[in-house]
Amino acid sequence: MWSTDSKSYRSALTAPRRKFYASEPGYLKWPLLFFFIAAIASQGLFAQGNSEEFVALKRYTLPSTAIPIQDLVEKDANFSLKGQPFTGIAFERYENGQLLRVVHLHQGLQNGPLYLWYPNGNPQMSANYRMGRLRGRFLGWYANGGTIYDMMIGTNGYNGDMLEDDSQRGDDDIDDTEMEGTDND
C-alpha cells in the first residue's frame, strides 16, 4: 500500500517526471487504434446510406409481361422468341427465387436498363444499353450497398464518372433514342 512517512512522500513529489516523445514505440498506438476502429465503423454506416438508385432497384417489381430468359434463343447478342427478334423484358432467377438479372430488349437487342442482383436480393449492377451497345450510366454496388463504380459510357467508351457538377460531364452522345418510323415501339 501507500507509505505514510514524509520522506517517501517528498521523494515521490520531487522525482523527475518522464517525458513522452512521439518517436517512442507505442506512443501513437491508442490514437491509431481508435482512428482505425472509427474508420471501419463509418464505412458500415455510410454503406447503409445507399443511393436512390440502389433503394429503387432493391424495391424493383418484375412486370407481369416479363418472360424467363431461358425461353429466348441468343445468337451473337441477338435474342429471339420462336424465330422472331424479341421485344420486351426478360428475366433470370437464382435457385432461391431471387432475381438474378432483368434485361430490356428491342427487336432482339439489349435496349434500356440491365439490372443484376446478388443472391440476397441486394442490387449488384445497373447499366443502360442502346441498340445492343453499352451507353449511359453504369452503376455497381458491393453486397452491403456501398458504391463500387458510378460512371458514364458514351459512344467512344468511358465518358467519365458521375460528377457533382453536371457542367463537367461529357455529353458526346446525348440524343433521344425515340425516332420517327414504324419500328419504334
Supply the CATH number for residue 157's domain.
2.20.110
Residues 149 and 138: beta-carbon distance below 8 Å: yes
Non-local (6+) Cβ contacts of 30 within 8 A are: none
CA distance linking residue 140 with residue 136, whole number of Å: 13
Question: Does residue 130 form part of some domain?
Answer: yes
CA distance 50 to 41: 16
- How many CB atoms within 10 Å of residue 180? 5
Distance (Å, whole) CA 139 – CA 3: 70
In a domain, 172, yes or no: no
Mean pLDDT of 120-139: 93
First to last CA, the chain: 91
Task: Report the SS3 class of residue 53.
Answer: helix
- Looking at the whole model, is its pTM more than 0.75? no
Whether residue 24 is contained in a domain is answered as no
Report if residue 160 sits inside a domain: yes
Domain that holds residue 115: 52-165
Domain-embedded: residue 181: no
Residue 180 in domain? no
Average predicted confidence (pLDDT) for the chain: 76
Any domain includes 42: no
Task: Give pLDDT, residue 163.
Answer: 42
- pLDDT tens per residue across span 94-117: 999 999 999 999 999 999 999 999
Does the residue 5 lie in any domain? Answer: no
Domains in the chain, number: 1
